[in-house]
Chains A and B, each alone.
Chain A
Amino acid sequence: MGEAHGPHLELPDIDNVQLVQQEQLLQHVAHFAAQGMRFITITCIDNGEQFEVYYHFDHDMKLNHLLLVIGKKEVLPSITPIYFCAFVAENEMKDLFGVRVDGLNVDYQGRMLVSDELPSPPMRKSSDSAVRRNGDGS
Chain B
Amino acid sequence: MAVKTILPFGPQHPVLPEPIQLRITLEDENIGQVLPALGYVHRGIEKAGENNDYPLNVFLVERICGICSATHGLAYCLAVERLLGIEPPPRANYLRVVWAELHRLHSHLLWWGLLADAFGFESLFMQIWRVREMVMDVLEKTAGNRVIISVNAIGGVRRDLSEEQISEMLHTLEECEKQLYALLPVMLNDYTVKKRTAGKGVLTSEQALRLGVVGPTLRASGVAQDLRMTGYAAYGELGFEPIVEQGGDCYARAVVRARECFQTIELVRRALQQLPDGDILTKPRGNPNGKAIVRVEAPRGELMYFVVGNGTKNLERMRVRTPTLANVPALLEMLPGAEFADIPVITLSIDPCISCTER
Contact = CB atoms under 8 A, between A and B. Distances in A.
Given A36-B209, A83-B212, A113-B42, A41 B47 contact: no
Contacts of B229: 61
A45 B39 contact: no
Contacts, number: 81
A115 B39 contact: yes
B46 A123 contact: yes
A61 B225 CA distance: 7
B44 interface: yes
Contacts of A95: 39
A5 interface: no
B329 A84 contact: yes
Interface string A90-132: 0000011000000000100001111100000011000000000
* Chain A facing B: main interface SS: mixed
Interface in A46-88: 54, 56, 58, 60-61, 63, 83-88
A8 to B, nearest CB: 14
A136 interface: no
Contact of B44 (A38, A43, A89, A122): A122
Given A14-B292, A63-B295, A41 B38 contact: no
Interface stretch (B69-77, B113-121, B317-325): B317-325
A58 B302 CA distance: 11
Contact of B329 (A43, A88, A112): A88
Candidate in A36, A43, A84 with the most chain B CB atoms within 10 angstroms:
A43
Given A14-B293, A113-B38, A88 B325 contact: yes
Contact of A45 (B293, B304, B317, B330): B317
B269 to A, nearest CB: 26
Closest A-B pairs by Cβ, 8 of them: A85-B329, A41-B321, A113-B39, A85-B212, A113-B42, A12-B291, A43-B319, A39-B212
18 contacts: A12-B291, A36-B209, A40-B321, A40-B326, A41-B319, A41-B325, A83-B210, A84-B332, A85-B210, A88-B328, A89-B321, A95-B39, A96-B46, A106-B35, A111-B39, A112-B38, A113-B38, A113-B358
Given A61-B230, A89-B321, A113-B38, 5 more contacts: A12-B291, A14-B291, A85-B211, A87-B329, A89-B325
